[in-house]
Chain A
Amino acid sequence: MRLAKIAEERLLGIPGYSPGQPSPGPVAGKLSSNEAPLGPPPAVRAALAAAAGQAARYPDETRALAVVAAEAGVEPSRVLLTNGSDELCYLIATVFLGPGRVAVVGDPCYQIDATASLLAGATLRRVPLREGRHDIEAMAEAAAGAAVVWLPSPHNPTGVAARPGHLDALLGQVPEDCLVVLDEAYRAFLDPAWRPDAAALLAAHPNLLVQRTLSKDWALAGLRAGYGLGPAELMTALARVRPPFSVNAMALAAIEAAAGAPEWRAMAVARIVEERTRLEAELARLGVEYFPSQANFVTARLDPDLVAPALARCGLAVRSGEDLGLPGWVRISVGWAPQMAQLRSVLRTLVHAVNDGAMRKRR
């Protein structure tokens, strides 16, 4: 079919998105999409039920925008709500990228950053990570002549965060006409001492845009909500290319309700950090290489073909690194305690079996 051929040519080299595999058992076993295992606070469910009655009306984002702005510590004019933080990638690419323009990404990078850049016709300048962390100096050099620098921190797929102070250094070196997109999807899981002062950075650097999702610690992944923070003029420009009403009424109601339950988020994040610590300790004991994570996942050098079937037998699904630019690795979302205990147990059994096999071969 001719149209299919045209589409194929147009999309040549642009990777499609593969979502994390569902769990073979209860949904709590899905450790493949970095979702929130405890879900949103109970108030969100009540808010969704109440919002259902307004389904016939176009959404009004005024109140949700105000609570997000208050949470971020900026004026509402400096916030743009989006349909998941991924929509913001496409808006940025639409406004700032195009044929002949360059986008800087880490290698491996967050896949949507690359996809949005390539779809806009831009060229990618890839800067290899160093031990899972962005090479800030190399990225600053690569930013010369570039239009956008995509900088997730903590990074996906490694979970490693940029060092405190390095962001300021990068922003000081990047040309003013190059937009730096600091994606803080996993900010809540970052050691508080490592959390950038986003408001201060935004005040000091007009070419900075902070990108956040409400899918992780806010636990609203299924509703698709995220936001950008930046200069008001920049938000206005991005809003012009955003489809009208892109954040739906249910998501807006959920944002308001979740904002009123910071204690729930604090508890849920604490559980994730505890389980992440347990998993990393187990990997260290087993001698499995992993990137020290400050996100709600841990990426470890494990053979997906070996690990995935064994985990599937326990109702667990993890993400193959092959999808994420890290072949030979798996990305393990930090889930609820019972699933994580099973996961650690399976990994112990597998690693011991592999080690025993290697010992026997040597003999």
Chain B
Amino acid sequence: MKVRALLLERDLSLRVGERELAEPGPGELLVEVDWAGVCGSDLHVLRSGDWVTDWPSTLGHEVTGRVAASPGGELAAGTRVVVDSRVPCGACPGCVAGPHLCENLAWFGEACPGGFASHVLVPADRVAPCPADLEAAIAVLAEPLAVAMHAVSRADGRPERVTITGYGPIGALVHLEIARRWPGAVVTVVEPVAARRQLAAALGAGLAETITETGRPQLVVDAAGYPGSLRDAIAGCARGGTVLVVALGHQPEPVLPAELVERELTVAGSNGFAGELSQAVAALAADPDRYRPLVTEAIVLDEAPRRLRELLAGPAAGKVVIRPSCD
């Protein structure tokens, strides 16, 4: 079948056009996309073409929609779902521990056509159903919220003071998850973009210009990923504390092993999510207004080529979501 989609060509040009999508078979779902979120990793692909295995590519791994066809009868037509973005190989030792630990882990939208399209094809066991009354434009936050939930679960203890560097959507969702899990924790944000600082302050965070101003918190979350951000996070963390790395920094960083030893620091990475997708759906359904301010911009598919190019030059205040099909 033909679907309308955002197409990224090998030369990294972007356009809206038609692409072929296989008809769903038993064990698969055809999902009509309501909203798909723009992730920082999508912007990385737009710049670099990294990770794409099939051209032209249709990105978009933060996807919510309604089941349009379920030949195997796994889910009723009309059921709202969010797509599990992980595409594990299913054959490696890592997969035994969990899809997010797959040694060959790929992602929806890069390994297969993604959600910047009117429809997606997904395995029936790779979605999380949503309550019928959960707004689609809130449900689209489930995937990045699951990422944030998993990241926070990687932190040891119950920190009283937390610093988050970088207040893009993942930094903001990590903040909300920390506040949900540890309501008494004092969260300080280091973020240079004014609109993001404004969002952080509105959501209850303190603001600082640099991590050194934040007084050695027990948990530092590196959601920035700028060259040197891990170094800054380690230097700014309290003895015995945890540095949680959620940003995809692509520059090598010098780390002094003796510093980790002598200050008894834990450096934890976090890749996607484990079992948190359904928990994220439940959290969004329980309190949608808590998450609403994070969606700061919405566009329809026709607007996407121009706007995504602009986002490469200047970030949005929060999450940008795309509506693939015009009603």
Is A341 close to B, CB under 8 A?
yes
Contact (A264, B327) CB under 8 Å given A28-B135, A39-B289, A338-B298: no
The answer on a CB contact under 8 Å between A338 and B327 is no
The answer on a CB contact under 8 Å between B289 and A346 is no
- Within 8 Å CB of B195, what residues of A? 270
The answer on a CB contact under 8 Å between A338 and B202 is no
The answer on a CB contact under 8 Å between A268 and B202 is yes
- Within 8 Å CB of B297, what residues of A? 274, 337
Contact (A342, B323) CB under 8 Å given A39-B289, A42-B290, A336-B292: yes
Is B299 close to A, CB under 8 A?
yes
Is B35 close to A, CB under 8 A?
yes
- Within 8 Å CB of B137, what residues of A? 28, 336, 338-339
Chain A positions 310-363 with a Cβ under 8 Å from a chain B Cβ: 313-314, 336-342, 344-346, 349
Q: CA separation between A338 and B323, bound complex, in Å?
A: 8
Find the B residue at minimum CB distance from A337: B298
- Within 8 Å CB of A313, what residues of B? 327
Contact of A271 among B201, B296, B299, B300 (CB under 8 A): B296
Contact (A38, B292) CB under 8 Å given A26-B135, A313-B327, A341-B300: yes
Is B240 close to A, CB under 8 A?
no
Q: CA separation between A200 and B98, bound complex, in Å?
A: 66
- Within 8 Å CB of A106, what residues of B? none
Contact of B199 among A39, A42, A267 (CB under 8 A): A267
- Within 8 Å CB of B292, what residues of A? 28, 37-39, 336
Shortest C-beta distance, B219 to chain A (Å), equals: 22
Find the B residue at minimum CB distance from A41: B202
- Within 8 Å CB of B201, what residues of A? 263, 266-267
Is B90 close to A, CB under 8 A?
no
| Interface residues of A, dominant DSSP | helix
Shortest C-beta distance, A332 to chain B (Å), equals: 15
Q: CA separation between A348 and B174, bound complex, in Å?
A: 37
Q: CA separation between A39 and B290, bound complex, in Å?
A: 10
Shortest C-beta distance, B107 to chain A (Å), equals: 24
Is B293 close to A, CB under 8 A?
yes
Is B295 close to A, CB under 8 A?
yes
The answer on a CB contact under 8 Å between A341 and B299 is yes
Is B184 close to A, CB under 8 A?
no
Contact of B35 among A41, A264, A338 (CB under 8 A): A338
- Within 8 Å CB of B295, what residues of A? 336-338
Chain A positions 249-265 with a Cβ under 8 Å from a chain B Cβ: 261, 263-264
Contact (A341, B323) CB under 8 Å given A39-B289, A42-B204, A267-B202: yes
Find the B residue at minimum CB distance from A45: B289
Shortest C-beta distance, A335 to chain B (Å), equals: 11
Shortest C-beta distance, B297 to chain A (Å), equals: 5
The answer on a CB contact under 8 Å between B326 and A349 is yes
The answer on a CB contact under 8 Å between A266 and B198 is yes
Find the A residue at minimum CB distance from B179: A42
The answer on a CB contact under 8 Å between A264 and B299 is no
- Within 8 Å CB of B35, what residues of A? 338
Q: CA separation between A220 and B289, bound complex, in Å?
A: 15
Q: Which of B35, B290, B298, B326 has the most chain A CB atoms inside 10 A of its CB?
A: B298
The answer on a CB contact under 8 Å between A345 and B300 is yes
Is B321 close to A, CB under 8 A?
yes
Contact (A345, B202) CB under 8 Å given A38-B292, A338-B321: no
Shortest C-beta distance, A315 to chain B (Å), equals: 9
- Within 8 Å CB of A336, what residues of B? 137, 292, 295
Instruction: Scan B279-322; emit 1 where CB is below 8 A from any A CB, else 0.
Output: 00000000001101101111110010000000000000100010
- Within 8 Å CB of A274, what residues of B? 296-297
Instruction: Scan B163-184; emit 1 where CB is below 8 A from any A CB, else 0.
Output: 0000000000000000000000
- Within 8 Å CB of A42, what residues of B? 204, 290
Find the B residue at minimum CB distance from A266: B198
- Within 8 Å CB of A28, what residues of B? 135, 137, 292
Contact of B327 among A41, A263, A337, A345 (CB under 8 A): A345
Q: CA separation between A339 and B321, bound complex, in Å?
A: 11
- Within 8 Å CB of B289, what residues of A? 38-39
Q: CA separation between A28 and B303, bound complex, in Å?
A: 22
Chain A positions 38-52 with a Cβ under 8 Å from a chain B Cβ: 38-39, 41-42
- Within 8 Å CB of B317, what residues of A? 270
Q: CA separation between A39 and B202, bound complex, in Å?
A: 12
Q: CA separation between A342 and B321, bound complex, in Å?
A: 12
Shortest C-beta distance, A222 to chain B (Å), equals: 13
Find the B residue at minimum CB distance from A270: B198
Shortest C-beta distance, A340 to chain B (Å), equals: 7
Contact (A264, B202) CB under 8 Å given A42-B290, A337-B297, A337-B298: yes
Q: CA separation between A26 and B321, bound complex, in Å?
A: 18
Find the B residue at minimum CB distance from A310: B327
- Within 8 Å CB of B327, what residues of A? 313-314, 342, 345-346
- Within 8 Å CB of A337, what residues of B? 295-298, 321
The answer on a CB contact under 8 Å between A345 and B290 is no
Q: CA separation between A112 and B287, bound complex, in Å?
A: 35
Shortest C-beta distance, A164 to chain B (Å), equals: 26
Shortest C-beta distance, A289 to chain B (Å), equals: 23
Q: Closest 9 interchain pairs by CB?
A: A267-B202, A338-B137, A341-B298, A263-B201, A337-B298, A338-B298, A264-B202, A314-B327, A345-B326
A267-B198, A314-B327, A337-B297 are known; give 15 further A-B pairs, CB within 8 A: A38-B293, A261-B202, A263-B201, A264-B202, A266-B198, A266-B201, A267-B202, A268-B202, A274-B296, A313-B327, A336-B295, A338-B295, A341-B298, A341-B303, A349-B326
A and B contact pairs by CB, cutoff 8 A, 18 listed: A39-B289, A42-B204, A42-B290, A261-B202, A263-B201, A266-B201, A266-B202, A267-B199, A270-B198, A271-B293, A271-B296, A274-B296, A337-B295, A338-B298, A342-B300, A344-B300, A345-B327, A346-B327
B-binding residues in A (CB < 8 A)? 26, 28, 37-39, 41-42, 261, 263-264, 266-268, 270-271, 274, 313-314, 336-342, 344-346, 349
A-binding residues in B (CB < 8 A)? 35, 135-137, 195, 198-199, 201-202, 204, 289-290, 292-293, 295-300, 303, 317, 321, 323, 326-327
